[in-house]
Structure 1
Amino acid sequence: MTHPYFAGSPSPRVLAHRGLVTSDAAAQGVADNSFAAVAAAHAAGATFVESDCHVTRDGVVILFHDDDLSRIAGDPRTVAELTERQLSDIMADHGGLITLEQALDAFPDVRFNLDVKAAGAEQAVGRLVAPAADRVLLTSFSDTRRLAALAAAERSRPDLRPATSAGSGVLARLLAALTLRNRRAVARLLTEVDALQIPERHRGVRILSPRLIDAAHDAGVEVHVWTVNERPDMLRLLDRGVDGLVTDRADLALSLVN
């Protein structure tokens, strides 16, 4: 059965990677994963916004990609060292800090694809997204972290868990099973997820293949490819039958799929 996260939304899907930061916005200092970036993706017509979760020193879950503020603000301190107030002050010149709770409240028609980046964020993320489980997909490179966040969400809302995509461990086992043509293992692994969110290649190894797409679709699982920013690549991947593009250029991708 298709998860409500995907219901009523046309495919192929455009997932705005960390929101949307146009070149003009970047020139004004707007950062990815900021309130302004999420608002820009929403204004451009993006139904899906991909983002990342970290936890502040005072236990607030925020949308933020990096462990520290070096790239965004030239500040070497980590997110975990700072309070929400301190981060809010720093991000005031970079599009504004946005907490997970604020994101879910301020953008009720956006479906969030959340990567649980920080160890220790799982319980708080799970509890916060549980009431909005129909419009949240939880993921992480760490399957342990991903499953812990899902479990926390299910404890708060047993009737519906958020959607989820494979972490690196599940994906590695799936690729091995596909190589060995172990259909039983492939089917079992795909029952655990609602989507496969993958790069086309990783360190020179091809991840996306017709066999993977076919197996996923046979199991009712979507295939989303990241991070796709060039028009020819978008068109090529859509022609190959992928279900979603994770992109920094949500405006461009939306113009193509629409």
Structure 2
Amino acid sequence: MAHPYFDAPAPRVLAHRGLTVPGDSHVENSLAAVAEAVSAGATYVESDCHLTRDGEIVLFHDDNVERVTGDPRLVADLRLRDLEALMADRGGLLTLRDALEGFPETRWNLDVKAAAAAAEMGRLVAPHAERVLLASFSDARRRAALAAAAAAGAAVRPATSAGSATIARVLGAAAAAPASVLRRLLRGVDVLQIPQRQGAVRVLTDRLIRRAHDAGVEVHVWTVNDVDEMRSLVARGVDGIVTDRADLALAALDG
């Protein structure tokens, strides 16, 4: 049975770090960016989580805040109030707690960016597990967050996508391994979230899409901003598009 996270119709448009369009004064992963994505009609929002010095989970992609604020310090070295001040004129800081409670209809695709964040992330998402997918390049980090959610009494396991090591094994198995091998590799995984290419290596293939679907696993592709490319991927069977332009994607893929 599919996880309740996937109850919404496909293809899924995942608003990458919210929505920021040319001319906006707010930055990615801010309160304003998420609000704009939701206002545009996004059901799914993709974001990234780090732990502050005083133990709060905040939505930030990088381990430092220089790219979006100009301040070179690490998130882990900043207190919540420091980040709130830095983000005050950039769309507003969004903590994970406020994201989950402030956008109760939104489904969250959350990347565990730091090992130190995994336990607190799991605890916070536990009451909302039916509308949360936990992701990470690190299988160890995402599994730690899943375990923390279970320990905190989550009624269902949060959905989850495969980490880099699992994806590498799946890519090798997809070429010729029996279905039983692929299903074993994908046990406990709901979706493969992948780029089309990694350097010279073609990651997304029609065979991978077909074999993932045979194993009951969705395929989402990141990060796609060209509308024609989105339509082509969906025509090939891709279930979800991670995009910086959720507004364009929703208009292009509606119906």
Measured against the shorter chain, the TM-score band is over 0.9
Q: What secondary structure does 2:27 align onto?
A: coil
Q: What secondary structure does 1:24 align onto?
A: coil
1:59 paired to 2:58: no
- Aligned-pair identity in percent equals 60
* 2:85 paired residue number: 89
Cα distance, 1:158 vs structure 2: 5.0
The answer (yes or no) to whether the contact 1:67–1:78 under 8 Å persists in 2 is: yes
Question: CA 1:183/1:219 → structure 2, altered by over 3 Å: closer, same or farther?
Answer: closer
* 1:13 paired residue number: 12
Cα distance, 1:211 vs structure 2: 1.2
1:205 paired to 2:201: yes
Provide the C-alpha distance between the structure 1 equivalents of 2:74 and 2:198, rounded to a whole number of angstroms: 27
Stretches of 4+ aligned residues off by more than 2 angstroms = 179-184
Provide the C-alpha distance between the structure 1 equivalents of 2:213 and 2:50, rounded to a whole number of angstroms: 32
Q: What secondary structure does 2:73 align onto?
A: strand
Structure 2 matches for 1:62-211, cutoff 5 A?
A: 62-157=58-153, 159-211=155-207
1:225 paired to 2:224: no
Cα distance, 1:182 vs structure 2: 3.6
* 1:251 paired residue number: 247
Q: What secondary structure does 2:242 align onto?
A: strand
Provide the C-alpha distance between the structure 1 equivalents of 2:155 and 2:29, rounded to a whole number of angstroms: 30
Cα distance, 1:219 vs structure 2: 1.7
* 1:215 paired residue number: 211
Cα distance, 1:69 vs structure 2: 1.3
Alignment size in residue pairs: 254
* 1:4 paired residue number: 4
* 2:232 paired residue number: 236
Provide the C-alpha distance between the structure 2 equivalents of 1:119 and 1:179, rounded to a whole number of angstroms: 32
Provide the C-alpha distance between the structure 2 equivalents of 1:139 and 1:182, rounded to a whole number of angstroms: 26
The residue type paired with residue 6 of structure 1 is F
> Which segment drifts farther, 118-127 or 215-224?
215-224
Deviations 1:181-215 (A, max 9, x none): 34322111122201110000011101111111111
Deviations 1:86-144 (A, max 9, x none): 00000011110000000001000000000000121010000000000000000100000
Q: What secondary structure does 1:131 align onto?
A: helix
Provide the C-alpha distance between the structure 2 equivalents of 1:158 and 1:73, rounded to a whole number of angstroms: 35
Provide the C-alpha distance between the structure 2 equivalents of 1:191 and 1:119, rounded to a whole number of angstroms: 22
Cα distance, 1:71 vs structure 2: 0.6
The residue type paired with residue 80 of structure 1 is A
Provide the C-alpha distance between the structure 1 equivalents of 2:114 and 2:154, rounded to a whole number of angstroms: 24
Cα distance, 1:31 vs structure 2: 0.7
- TM-score, normalised by the number of residues in structure 1: 0.96
Cα distance, 1:236 vs structure 2: 1.1
1:36 paired to 2:32: yes
Cα distance, 1:2 vs structure 2: 0.3
The answer (yes or no) to whether the contact 1:174–1:185 under 8 Å persists in 2 is: no
The residue type paired with residue 19 of structure 2 is L
> Which segment drifts farther, 211-220 or 36-45?
211-220
RMSD of Structure 2 on Structure 1 (CA) = 0.9
Unaligned runs of 5+ in 1: none
